[in-house]
Each structure stands twice: as structure tokens, then as C-alpha cells.
Amino acid sequence: MKYVHTTNAPEAIGPYSQGVIINNMFYSSGQIGLTPDGDLSGDDVATQTHQVFANLKAVLEEAEASLDTVIKTTVFLKSMDDFPQVNEIYGSYFVEHKPARSCVEVSKLPKDVKIEVEVIALVK
């Protein structure tokens, strides 16, 4: 087992790692809309969603994976009312490659953000 850490994504805000590699599979922790410095990227779901994908790309790169090797995503939304906007942004990151996905509404997320996304990916 190998723990993944990059300074190009925010530090974990608890006793966990940004991700773990086991048998050529990468499992990310949930990424929220914090900048690598730990500041909230913005109050709106669009800004937070783009930051989430920037963070995911950074941890995937550190794991020698990429959005193109993602096989499953889980999206947690504070409000399903944000689903259409998040879905459109999500589609801009997964254009031809379409991993399996789950999307659920939750009552609260860390730092009271609007979105959190975790991925499972193949390591190159």
C-alpha cells in the first residue's frame, strides 16, 4: 500500500491521506473546493466544483493516474438543486471518457462546502 500526497491539493483536514494506491488501483479521499493553501475557493457551487476537479487532477497525477483512468466517481452534493450545474461542469472534465458515477445529496459536508467528489482510478 502506498499513500499519495501532493502539495498541489489541500492537506487532509483529518487523520487520513489524500489517497491510497493498492494493486494498481488509486482510491482518493473526497476532495472539496479548498485551494492547495486550504482556503475556500468561493461560495458558489460552480467555483467549488472546478476547484474540486483541480484537486482531483493533482492527486491523480501524483498517483500516476489521470481523469482518463478514473473508473468510478462518487459526488456528494449539499443540494440536489445544484445537480444540473454540477453535471454540466462534470461533463466538461469527462468528455469522451465516462466513468461510472453515483451522486447523492447529503445534509452537510466538511467546511460547509457545496460539493465533495471522490474517485477510484487505474494507475498507469
CATH code of the domain in which 34 resides? 3.30.1330.40
What is the per-residue pLDDT for 13?
A: 87
- pLDDT digit string, tens, across residues 48-75: 999 999 999 999 999 999 999 999 999 9
- Asked if 65 is an active-site residue, the reply is no
SS (H, E, C) the chain: CEEECCCCCCCCCCCCCCEEEECCEEEECCEECECCCCCECCCCHHHHHHHHHHHHHHHHHHCCCCHHHEEEEEEEECCHHHHHHHHHHHHHHCCCCCCEEEEEECCCCHHHCCEEEEEEEECC
Parent domain of 95: 2-122
Catalytic residue among 103, 109, 122, 123: 103
Say if residues 67 and 124 touch (Cβ distance below 8 Å).
Answer: no
Amino acid code (one letter) for 57: K
* 8 and 37 Cβ atoms separated by less than 8 Å: no
Please state the domain count of the chain: 1
Q: What is the pLDDT of residue 104?
A: 98
What's the confidence (pLDDT) of residue 41? 97
Q: C-alpha cell of 14?
A: 483529518
Q: Which residues of the chain have pLDDT under 70?
A: none
Write down the pLDDT at residue 103: 98
